[in-house]
Amino acid sequence: MAQQPQQSTTSTPVELTVKPRPGQLTFDAPRRGKPPRHLADFDMAGRREFLAEMGHQPFRAGQLSRHYFDRFATAPEDMTDLPAAGREELVSQALPTLLTTVRSLEADQGDTVKNVHRCFDGATVESVLMRYTHRVTMCISSQAGCGMNCPFCATGQAGLTRNLSTAEMVEQVVQGARMLRGGRVGRAEQEPLRISNIVFMGMGEALANYKASIGAIHRLIDPSPEGLGISARGITMSTVGLVPGIRKFTQEKLPVTLALSLHAPDDELRDELIPINTRWKVDEALDAAYDYYQATGRRVSIEYALIRDINDHGWRADLLGEKLNARGGGWVHVNPIPLNPTPGSKWTASRPGVEQNFVERLRAHGIPTTVRDTRGSDIDGACGQLAATV
Ligand code: SAH
β partners of residue 114: 105, 128
For the segment 173-186, the average pLDDT, to the nearest whole number, is: 91
Per-residue pLDDT at 190 exceeds 80: no
Catalytic residue among 106, 126, 226, 303: 126
Residue 390: the pLDDT is: 66
Which of 128, 118, 105 is closest to 164 using CA atoms?
A: 118
- Ligand 1 centroid to Cα of residue 154, in Å, is 9
Nearest atom in ligand 1 to 205's CA: 1
> Which residues share a beta bridge with 238?
259
Distance (Å) from CA 328 to ligand 1 centroid: 26
Q: Dump pLDDT digits (tens) for 6-55.
A: 443 444 445 567 789 889 999 887 767 899 999 999 999 999 999 999 99
**Is the distance from the beta carbon of residue 336 to the nearest atom of ligand 1 less than 6 Å?**
no
3-state secondary structure of 245: helix
Q: Nearest Cα to 151, choosing from 245, 242, 276?
A: 276
Task: Check if 165 has its Cβ closer than 6 Å to any atom of ligand 1.
Answer: no
pLDDT(1) > 50: no
pLDDT at position 140, please? 98
- CA 108 vs. chain centroid, Å, equals 21
Say how far apart CA 143 and CA 161 lie, in whole Å: 8
Domain positions in the chain are 39-95, 99-365
Q: Kindly state the average pLDDT of the residues 355-371.
A: 98
What is the C-alpha to C-alpha distance for residues 175 and 282, in angstroms, rounded to an integer?
37
For residue 354, pLDDT beyond 50: yes
Atom 19 (ligand 1): residue with closest C-alpha? 384
- Superfamily grouping for domain 99-365: Aldolase class I (3.20.20.70)
Q: Concatenated DSSP letters for 15-84?
A: PPPPPPPTT----SPPP-PPPPP-GGGS-HHHHHHHHHHTT--TTHHHHHHIIIIIS----GGG-TTS-S
pLDDT at residue 77 is higher than 70: yes
240 lines ligand 1 (CB under 6 A): yes
3-class secondary structure per residue, 203-215? CCCHHHHHHHHHH
H or E, element range at 246: helix 243-251
Residue nearest to atom 4 of ligand 1 (CA): 201
Q: Of all residues in the chain, what percent are helix, strand and coil, respectively (each to 5)?
A: 35, 15, 45
Q: How many other CB atoms are there within 10 angstroms of residue 31's CB atom?
A: 7
Give me the pLDDT at residue 32, please.
Answer: 73
Q: The pTM is what?
A: 0.94
Distance of alpha carbon 298 from alpha carbon 150, whole angstroms: 27
Residue type, 297: G
Does the pLDDT at position 182 exceed 50? Answer: yes
Measuring CA to CA, how many Å separate 115 from each of 144, 352, 373?
14, 30, 20
For residue 278, the 8-state DSSP code is: G
Q: How many CB atoms lie within 10 A of CB 77?
A: 11
For ligand 1, whether the C-beta of 116 sits within 6 Å is no
Residue 101 has pLDDT above 70, yes or no: yes
Q: 367: left (phi > 0), else alpha (psi -120 to 50), else beta?
A: beta
Residues 116-169: tens digit of each pLDDT: 999 999 999 999 999 998 899 999 999 999 999 999 999 988 899 999 999 999
CATH topology for 39-95 is DNA polymerase; domain 1 (1.10.150)
DSSP states along 167-211: HHHHHHHHHHHHHHHTT-SS-TTPSP-S--EEEE-SSS-GGGGHH
| CA 162/CA 205 separation, integer angstroms | 11
**pLDDT score for 15:** 56
- In the prediction, which pLDDT does 377 show? 83
CA distance 345 to 262: 19
387 pLDDT higher than 90: no
Residue-by-residue DSSP string for 96-119: ----EEEEEEEEGGGTEEEEEEE-
Query: Which residue numbers belong to the known binding site?
Result: 146, 150, 153, 204-205, 238, 261-263, 340
Cross-strand pairs, 107: 112
Ramachandran class of 309: left when φ > 0, alpha when ψ lies in -120 to 50, beta otherwise: left
Q: How far apart are CA 185 and CA 54, in angstroms?
A: 37
Q: 88 an active-site residue? A: no
Spatial neighbors of 300 by CB under 8 A, at least 6 apart, are 257, 258, 259, 260, 289, 290, 292, 293, 331, 332, 333
Query: How confident is the model at residue 92, as a pLDDT?
Result: 97
Ligand 1 within 6 A of CB of 304 = no
**Whose CA is closest to atom 25 on ligand 1?**
383
Across the chain, what does the average pLDDT equal? 92
Catalytic-residue membership of 383: yes
Please report how the helices 282-296 and 314-327 are oriented relative to each other, as an axis angle in degrees rounded to 10.
Answer: 50
Mean pLDDT of 264-269: 98
